[in-house]
């Protein structure tokens, strides 16, 4: 048995038939679905913009000495040296530490004592990688 496509008018709408099956409604439905729900691959050629990293506005340790640290202040772009006393509370990444736990490049928040020269507290964080 050989199947032949036949073209004919069925009512007012022309249909493409193979072995008595009408394909025009199926093709129209498939086309409507494709237009209403586009594939995500259509936008694949567009690059999405990535947000810029936030500017680093923290102070950084520039030197660690035996009894002091040097800090680069972001606000004034000036260096400031703080004396470290035995009473200075030092934390690194939230855990208590000592002066030897500090390193250059760390972000730091220094609370000066009333004399302005000695550090009362030093809160340092390791640089993000």
Q: pLDDT (tens digit, 9 = 90+) per residue, 28-77?
A: 887 787 777 776 655 555 667 778 777 778 899 999 999 999 999 988 98
Q: What residue segments make up the domains of the chain, in order of their start?
A: 5-39, 59-125
CATH for the 59-125 domain, from 3.40.50.410, 3.40.190.170, 3.40.50.620, 2.40.50.320: 2.40.50.320
Measured distance CA(104)–CA(64) in Å, rounded? 7
Q: Model pTM?
A: 0.58
Residue 8 has pLDDT above 90, yes or no: no
For 26, counting Cβ atoms within 10 Å of its Cβ (0-12 exposed, 13-18 middle, 19+ buried), the class is: exposed
Name the band, by pLDDT with cuts 50, 70 and 90, for residue 5.
Answer: low
> Do the Cβ atoms of 126 and 93 come closer than 8 Å?
yes
Measured distance CA(41)–CA(125) in Å, rounded? 43
pLDDT of residue 51: 80
> Do the Cβ atoms of 60 and 110 come closer than 8 Å?
no
Measured distance CA(111)–CA(124) in Å, rounded? 11
Tens of pLDDT, residue by residue over 63-93, are: 999 999 999 998 898 999 999 999 999 999 9
Measured distance CA(65)–CA(119) in Å, rounded? 14
DSSP 10-51: ETTEEEEEETTEE-HHHHHHHHHHHHHS--GGGGTTSPPPPP
Measured distance CA(95)–CA(44) in Å, rounded? 46
pLDDT of residue 118: 96
pLDDT of residue 30: 78
Higher pLDDT, 112 or 57: 112
């Amino acid at each position: 048995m050989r199947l032949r496509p036949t073209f004919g008018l069925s009512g007012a709408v022309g249909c493409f038939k193979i072995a008595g099956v009408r394909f025009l409604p199926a093709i129209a439905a498939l086309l409507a679905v494709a237009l209403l729900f586009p594939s995500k691959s259509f936008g694949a050629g567009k690059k999405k913009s990535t947000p810029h990293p936030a500017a680093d506005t923290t102070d950084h340790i520039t030197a660690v000495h035996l009894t002091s640290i040097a800090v680069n202040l972001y606000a004034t772009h000036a260096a400031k040296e703080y004396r470290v006393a035995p009473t200075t509370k030092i934390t690194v990444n939230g855990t208590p530490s000592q002066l030897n736990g500090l390193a250059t490049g760390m972000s730091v928040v220094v609370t000066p004592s009333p004399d302005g020269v000695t550090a009362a507290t030093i809160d340092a964080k390791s640089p993000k990688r």
